[in-house]
Every structure is written in C-alpha cells, then in structure tokens.
Structure 1
Amino acid sequence: MKNPNGYGSVYKLSGKRRKPFGVRKTAGWGINEKTGKAKQLYENVGYYASRQEAMIALAEYNKNPYDLDAKKITFAEVFEKWSDENYKKMSESNIRGYNAAFKNTSGLHDIRFIDIKKIHMQEIVDNCNKSYATKHRIKVLFNQLYNFALENDITEKDYSKFVDVGRSQNKGTRQPFTMKEINTLWSNLNTLESADLALIMIYTGLRPGELLTIENKNIHLNDRYIIGGIKTDAGKDRIIPLNKKIVPLIEKRMDEKNKFLVVNKRNNKMAYNTFNDDRWASLIKKVKMTHKPHDCRHTFATMMDNAGANKVSIKKIMGHASSDITDKVYTHKNIEELLKAVDLI
C-alpha cells in the first residue's frame, strides 16, 4: 500500500551494509539542472537494519516530527529528545540524577550539538565545583546523549568517551559506626528526631534512598520483615528482616494516614536532599560525628560479618547479586533463616 503524500518513504541502499534500509522525508522541491524539471529534495530520518525497523521509525517520526537538520539541533534539544524516549523506562531517582546533571551543563545548552567537542565537555567537568559522583553523572549523561545522537545521525563521532572526570577521592573512606557511637544514637532516641533513622539503617542495611521509599503497607511488624529496596534487580522489592531492637522504632514511626514510613513536614515522601542536607546533617552535628548516611549500610555489613552471619544471608538482605554458583542454591532462603542472621547483631 502506497504511503500518503508527505508521509515519507523507506528505501534500500545498495551493497552490503549493517543498516541497509533508509527512511527519508520530502524536504521541498528544486529544479533538475540537466532536464529543467522539478525534482524532490529529501532529508534522511535515519538508517535501520530491517525494513520493519525502518517502517516503525517512519511512523514514530510522523507521530512526533522533529527537525532533521542536524546542523540546527542544540545540546538542550538532544537532551529533550533523549529524555522523552528514555525517562519512561527509568526510576525516579535516575531521572532526578540526569536532570541535575543537565542543569550542571548549562554552558552547552544553546550550542549546536555538532559543534560540541571534547574540550567543551571537559571544561564543564573541570569547572564543576561538585563531588566526584556529580562529575561522573555528568559524563554518563554525555555518554547517553552521544549514543542517542549517533543512533539518530545527529553526529558521526563520540567525543564524550574522551572526557576525564578523574578518580574518586572518597573511595575506601566509608567508616562503620563504632559500638560507642551506636550506643550514643540509642541514648539520644528521645532527644534527636533522626537518631532512629540512623539506627534503622544500621540494623537493616538499607540505603538512605531505600529507607525513604519504604511504604507502610509493606511493613509486617508481626512477622518482623519489610519489603523494599531499589537500584538493582537483586535489590528491588527484597525481603528485609527486622532485628528485634528496631521493631519499636519502626512501629513508632508508622502512621496509617501516611503512605511512607519517613515523611516530610507535609506528610509526603521525603526527598533525599531534605534527608541528607537537613535531617542527617543536623543529627551528625549534634552527636559530634563525621559519618555519611551510607556508613550505616557499611556498618550493617561489618556487624553481620563480625557476628559470623552466613555470607549468602548478608548478600540477600542487602540486595547484592550473587555470582557464586554455590550461593544460588540458597535463593529461596525463608524469612526465619534471615531473621536468625539479622538477630546475631
């Protein structure tokens, strides 16, 4: 069946090619200098491995047309097209991370994408007065946008792979809480509102971001476990046993009127920045410690290991994927076994 006028067409290129099927749209009309007759002028949408892929691409383009002239597409426009296509497949935390990285690249936003070179991106990273993690996220964004640009014939070369963000200065600096520090947190439960949050993370191995996503409906106090976790396939929606010591802390936090265990002043889900910059910073300052939130998770792993807990149980509770074939035999460990492990600390 013939496509309607102006819809575009799929054609096959000659020779052996990895992507032999092209998609093109009519860009206008010109004059053939030899014959003097009118001729169609085309712009390519892209090239594809199969006719079916090409037809799908043409249909998608007609549903949401964009400027095919790569010379006009800016960095910000590429980001917009990339995010429209990929954000629907991402978690909220990843979306927030990429949006933050994009804000840190404001110097590139209005520059044509094909004019951006390694030196421009390196300048953004070098002048970013942020942590290594932030710089790394910016580079990851560069990588993602260049992959998208290559796939859509916006550019022919990936300069992002040459950007250097240096090495993390914090690698290996995570320090577990000492027993004296943990006792200090216990002794301040009634005076410092976030001391309980630190203890909950210390005795569950929850990441800070995971703690903030725990919903009350997924807390089973009678059976002493919660369902939660994010970030990896092994960590998502995992069973997390509750040490007897922290059951009262969680019970006190729970409010049937709220969706989440940890809420902000409006009883909504607390943002990580609010937790880190407000609650955690205030707590650590008052108890005169120098720990970061993730040290709680490191403390849990250390305490479990020191107590002689089974390594498979530790991995399962913390949401670590197991690469050991022997470990995979234990993928159906029941809650009772996990409770025995966590009660060792």
Structure 2
Amino acid sequence: MYAFFVALRSTPKAYKNINYLFSKKTYTLLLTKPKMTFDEVYEEWSKEKFPTVSESNIKGYKASYKTCGILYNRVFKDLKLADLQQVIDTCGKNYPTLKKIKILFNQLYEFALKNDICNKDYSTFVEITQYKDLNPNKHTRTKFTKEEVAKVWTMKEDNTIRLSSCCSIMAHVSLNFLI
C-alpha cells in the first residue's frame, strides 16, 4: 500500500495532512489521471479487459484501436465529440467496423469515468448511422426460381444430362457465392 497525502489549508499558514491508503494501481492512476493520453487509457483499460474476453474480441479491439491513431497522444479528458467523430468520418471503414470502433470508445469512456479520468462520456454521441449502407462485404445473391428447381428435379433420373447439369448447377451456385 502507498500513502497518499493531501494538504488541506485550515488557516493561511497551517496545513493539515490526511493520510489515505491506496493500492499501487489506484495510486498510479491518481497521480497521472489529469494528463493520461488516449493511448495510456487504452493500455490501462486493456490490462483489465483482455483477460476477460476471447482472442477474437481482443483482435477486434486492437484493430479498432489502430484506426484511432490521431488520438493516441491526445490528453483523454480534453477529447471532445468532434475528435471521436473525426476518427469515424475519416477512417474509411465499413459499417460493422465502425460499430466496433464505437464500442471501443464506449468502453474506454466507461473505464475513464469509473476511474475519474474524465467527467463526460462523449462516445454516446458518436454517430455512425449515416454509414449504415457502407458495407463492401455485403453481397446480393440471386435465388433459384421455382422453375429452375423444378427443372433440376425433372432431370434427376436422366443419366446423360445428370453430369452436365450438375456441373452447370455447381458453376451457378459457385458464382452466386463469389459475387
């Protein structure tokens, strides 16, 4: 345990020392809180969060963090909504990735508020809905019509057509998955 002394002025020349006991982690956070950067908050948060989540989630958080490069050296408590929104607006990522970045912001602000690193959670005001249609991985697939399915079933017994039809169907299905 570390002793943390706070001087309270009771008279103009007299000071009163009050001894508080804190854990090493709390003591370190208390001393550095006012000037903790985005990067430092992320590091402290990840030490707590990563042991409790899957490797897949950790990779997602790390990927989201990498998009926030313009915030790394900024003092966390001085960040405003415009700074967070700038990351979203300029990163060029698709909607699912933007959701992960916003989740990271939410969790960092929750950690920062809990540890008195900042006073307000700007992450709740970050807007990503205008990017909802931005998903380059989204594919539109054409389904088989009822007539095409019926045609396949009628060819079921014909051995001469079976091989060529199977190849044709497999090519059609494969192309639908590639598109």
Q: Same fold (TM over 0.5)?
A: yes
In structure 1, the residue matched to 2:170 is 183
Given that 2:85 and 2:126 are in contact with CA atoms closer than 8 Å, whether structure 1 keeps it comes out as yes
User: Once the two structures are superposed, what CA deviation does each residue of 1:207-248 show, in whole Å capped at 9, x if it has no partner?
Assistant: xxxxxxxxxxxxxxxxxxxxxxxxxxxxxxxxxxxxxxxxxx
Aligned equivalents of 2:10, 2:177: Cα separation in 1: 76
Partner SS state of residue 2, structure 2: coil
Aligned equivalents of 1:144, 1:63: Cα separation in 2: 19
Aligned equivalents of 2:96, 2:168: Cα separation in 1: 27
Aligned equivalents of 1:185, 1:66: Cα separation in 2: 62
| TM-aligned CA deviation for residue 135 of structure 1 | 1.3
In structure 1, the residue matched to 2:28 is 66
In structure 2, the residue matched to 1:127 is 90
Higher relative contact order (CA 8 A, sep 6+): 2
Quick check: 1:149 aligned with 2:144?
A: no
Letter in 2 for 1:139: K
Aligned equivalents of 1:120, 1:42: Cα separation in 2: 39
Partner SS state of residue 28, structure 2: coil
Partner SS state of residue 16, structure 2: strand
| TM-aligned CA deviation for residue 7 of structure 1 | 3.1
**What are the within-5 Å matches in structure 2 for residues 147-226 of structure 1?**
147-165=110-128, 166-169=130-133, 170=135, 173=139, 175=141, 183-184=170-171
Shift in CA distance, 182/142, structure 1 to aligned 2, threshold 3 Å? farther
| TM-aligned CA deviation for residue 155 of structure 1 | 1.3
Q: How many residues align?
A: 154
Partner SS state of residue 67, structure 1: helix
| TM-aligned CA deviation for residue 75 of structure 1 | 0.7
In structure 1, the residue matched to 2:40 is 77
| Bigger Rg over Cα | 2
Letter in 2 for 1:7: Y
Root mean square deviation, CA, Å: 3.5
Larger helix percent: 2
Aligned equivalents of 1:133, 1:175: Cα separation in 2: 20
In structure 1, the residue matched to 2:17 is 40
User: Once the two structures are superposed, what CA deviation does each residue of 1:39-62 show, in whole Å capped at 9, x if it has no partner?
Assistant: 33789xxxxxxxxxxx9xx4xx32
Percent sequence identity over matched residues?
Answer: 35
In structure 2, the residue matched to 1:319 is none
Aligned equivalents of 1:119, 1:93: Cα separation in 2: 29
Partner SS state of residue 40, structure 1: strand
| TM-aligned CA deviation for residue 99 of structure 1 | 0.3
Partner SS state of residue 161, structure 1: helix
| TM-aligned CA deviation for residue 175 of structure 1 | 3.4
Given that 1:175 and 1:291 are in contact with CA atoms closer than 8 Å, whether structure 2 keeps it comes out as no
Partner SS state of residue 29, structure 2: coil
Given that 2:10 and 2:16 are in contact with CA atoms closer than 8 Å, whether structure 1 keeps it comes out as no
Aligned equivalents of 1:106, 1:116: Cα separation in 2: 13
TM-score calculated relative to the size of structure 1? 0.38
Unaligned regions of 5+ residues in structure 2, if any? 145-165
